[in-house]
């Protein structure tokens, strides 16, 4: 394993990243637009209007700033890769089996883009759209998007906003809101990948220590579609209630072997999904950086970057297990599981307001 490189060798400044990403043209023939938020502690986070994508997260440490978010320097790399790095995901994050569901007595077919299934909203998900900037300041930016009736097969005209706010205690809060003129499944998240050793360090995340306060996990079939079982994590390799290294029980059981590691949804205790109680905590292998996760979503997808190999990076390519995604959401394929508890299902009723938030807080030595 490579040692973590010094920040001066790996950092791409926010200004340089902006210039690089805005040099390319999107499919509409226009360049991307990048904004950077900063606080008085010296932390910076940067976002791109293409996909309302989180493209950089630089945390000040005793050894200098550290880039902890996987990302790229070229717009064409963001357009061509398949790992959804930092993108806003919708209308429906995760998988819908066979791209089919029924709602109010009507059958719907969603575009298929992952084996036989629909993944992260279908072929032309929200990650592939140019979002409009509604408002922005030094510490806040809001993007909005309109998704027309029938978009990727989903019912209803949907308006959606995602707002990013950087606080003075090094917390990035992501707020999602949406309104639809028909009943529709909706499941918004951000697909950020973190490496607290440094995104370009060469290290995997397997030496990171993780605490994840989950109740159950969802076993899957060979196409990573949930079988329907909600299995308690207690005593399994998915039990991270006590902090331990990610590699500790990697590939220990058949559920992991199917996915080449962790790529599973887990349910969260309702008493902790209040947006102010930590549901997960991740610590770098050198113990220098810790990230805590807060949410009011009922579930989380824990992905250990099992198939990141070959994904463009800021300095070449990432390898497998070089980033971890902790995607707060509703359960995958929930439109096809009426037997699951209602709180785990992502639906928006006609003309009702969808609003959820997730925050990532960083502490450094």
191 is in an annotated binding site: yes
Catalytic residue positions, numbered = 191, 327
176 is in an annotated binding site: no
263 is in an annotated binding site: yes
SS3 of residue 62 by DSSP: coil
Dihedral (CA of 273, 275, 278, 282) sign = positive
**Cα radius of gyration rounded to whole Å, the chain:** 19
* DSSP strands (E only) in 186-268: 189-190, 209-212, 216-217, 231-232, 240-245, 263-267
The answer to whether the peptide bond before residue 234 is cis (omega within 30 degrees of 0) is no
Q: How far apart are the first and last CA of the chain?
A: 23
- From 189, 185, 265, 269, select the one nearest 228 (Cα to Cα): 265
Residues 212-243 as b/e (b if ≥16 CB within 10 A, e otherwise) read bbbbbbbbbeeebbbeeebbebeeebbebeee
Length of the chain in terms of residues written: 365
193 is in an annotated binding site: yes
Tell me which H or E stretch contains 58. Answer: strand 53-61
Dihedral (CA of 54, 163, 27, 81) sign = positive
Q: What does the DSSP 8-state code read for residue 341?
A: -
The sheet carrying 278-283 orders its strands as 132-136, 140-147, 158-166, 171-180, 353-364, 289-295, 278-283, 209-212, 240-245
Q: Which residue has the tokens 């293409």?
A: 50
Sequence-distant (≥ 6) Cβ neighbours of residue 172 within 8 angstroms: 45, 57, 164, 165, 166, 359, 360, 361
231 is in an annotated binding site: no
Binding residues for beta-D-galactose: 94-95, 191-193, 263
Q: Annotated binding site: which residue ranges? A: 94-95, 191-193, 263
């Amino acid at each position: 394993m490579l040692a973590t490189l010094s920040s001066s060798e790996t950092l791409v400044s926010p200004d340089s990243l902006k210039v690089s990403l805005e040099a390319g043209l999107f499919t509409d023939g226009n360049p991307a637009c990048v904004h950077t938020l900063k606080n008085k502690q010296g932390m910076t986070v940067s976002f791109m209007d293409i996909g309302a994508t989180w493209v950089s997260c630089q945390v000040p440490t005793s050894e200098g700033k550290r880039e902890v978010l996987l990302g790229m320097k070229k717009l064409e790399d963001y357009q061509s890769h398949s790992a959804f790095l930092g993108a806003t995901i919708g209308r429906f994050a995760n998988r819908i089996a066979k791209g089919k569901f029924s709602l109010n007595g009507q059958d719907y077919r969603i575009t298929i883009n992952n084996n036989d299934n629909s993944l992260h909203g279908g072929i032309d998900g929200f990650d592939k759209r140019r979002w409009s900037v509604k408002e922005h300041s030094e510490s806040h930016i809001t993007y909005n998007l309109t998704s027309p009736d029938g978009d990727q097969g989903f019912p209803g005209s949907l308006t959606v906003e995602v707002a990013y706010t950087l606080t003075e205690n090094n917390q990035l809060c992501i707020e999602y809101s949406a309104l639809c003129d028909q009943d529709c499944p909706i499941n918004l998240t951000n697909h950020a990948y973190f490496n607290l050793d440094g995104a370009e360090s060469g290290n995997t995340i397997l030496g990171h220590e993780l605490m994840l306060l989950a109740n159950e996990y969802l076993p899957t079939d060979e196409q990573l579609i949930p079988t329907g079982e909600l299995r308690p994590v207690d005593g399994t390799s998915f039990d991270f209630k006590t902090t331990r290294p990610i590699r500790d029980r990697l590939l220990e059981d058949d559920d992991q072997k199917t996915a080449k590691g962790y790529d599973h949804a887990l349910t969260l205790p309702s008493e902790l999904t209040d947006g102010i109680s930590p549901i997960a905590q991740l610590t770098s292998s050198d113990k220098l950086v810790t990230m805590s996760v807060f949410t009011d979503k009922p579930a989380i997808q824990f992905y250990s970057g099992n198939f990141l190999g070959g994904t463009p990076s800021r300095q070449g390519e990432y390898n497998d297990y070089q980033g971890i995604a902790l995607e707060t959401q509703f359960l995958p394929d929930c439109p096809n599981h009426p037997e699951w508890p209602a709180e785990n299902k992502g639906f928006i009723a006609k003309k009702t307001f969808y609003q959820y938030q997730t925050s990532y807080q960083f502490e450094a030595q």
